[in-house]
Amino acid sequence: MTTIGFVRHGVTAWNKEGRAQGYTDVPLDEEGIEMAERVADRMQQEEWDVIYTSPLIRAKKTAEIIAEKHPSTEFYTDKRLGEIGGGIIEGTTEEERVAKWGASWREQDMGFEPEEVIISRGMSFIEDVKDAHPGKRVLVVSHGGFISRLLNALMPEEEFSKDIGNTSVTVVELQEKKNLCHLFNCMKHLEAREV
């Protein structure tokens, strides 16, 4: 059975400002790079056979930092791992959205990527990974909104928080009958270090 480790990218300036990112290619900030280095140190202690990443720079840079600790590991970029398209709200904060479109902006057509398209591209990626890497350990660096929806599609009987932390690690074992989540949204690598 194939094991997939999901890692959300490090933090960006837009994350801190509460701006919707979606397809917008926002880079990691200094703290985001440090977070990526810390998750890379953690991943170095584990065996991973292949790394896949979203092409968006915040995820790709996080994946590249992890890959530096796994120099012989295969590395691929896959556009299906990109964040959910945020339509016309990308680049805006909640306050700006309310000011521009009113408190009920969520009920309006903002051009979001449709849920069925998100799940379709995510499950297409999972099926390809199962075929290409049976029984392997596959690390996937992606985005919070995308990861949370994919987890709910892979394990519909479970209730997963949609709040996926920056550089958090989630590990799922893909099985024939029922997928198992062994670790969810773990950020122990970000806990304060002894000086």
Question: Higher-confidence residue: 193 or 100?
Answer: 100
Our answer to whether residue 9 is catalytic in this structure is: yes
In the predicted model, is pLDDT for residue 74 greater than 50? yes
Residue 5 forms beta bridges with which residues? 139, 171
List pLDDT tens digits, range 162-175.
Answer: 899 999 999 999 99
pLDDT at 34: 97
Give the gyration radius of the chain's Cα atoms. Answer: 17
**Domain ranges across the chain:** 3-190
pLDDT at 6: 98
Q: Does domain 3-190 have CATH number 3.40.50.1240?
A: yes
CA distances from 129 to 2, 52, 133, 169, 179 (A): 8, 10, 6, 18, 14
For 81, counting Cβ atoms within 10 Å of its Cβ (0-12 exposed, 13-18 middle, 19+ buried), the class is: buried
List pLDDT tens digits, range 18-27.
Answer: 999 999 999 9
- Provide the residue count of the chain: 195
List pLDDT tens digits, range 107-158.
Answer: 999 999 999 999 999 999 999 999 999 999 999 999 999 999 999 999 999 9
Our answer to whether residue 83 is catalytic in this structure is: yes
In the predicted model, is pLDDT for residue 194 greater than 70? no
Q: Which residue among 9, 70, 143, 189 is the active-site one?
A: 9
Q: Which residue among 37, 70, 83, 143 is the active-site one?
A: 83
pLDDT band at 195 (very low <50, low <70, confident <90, very high): very low
Q: Measured between alpha carbons, how far is 174 from 87 in angstroms, rounded to an integer? A: 32
Residues 6+ apart with CB under 8 A from 160: 148, 151, 152, 181, 184
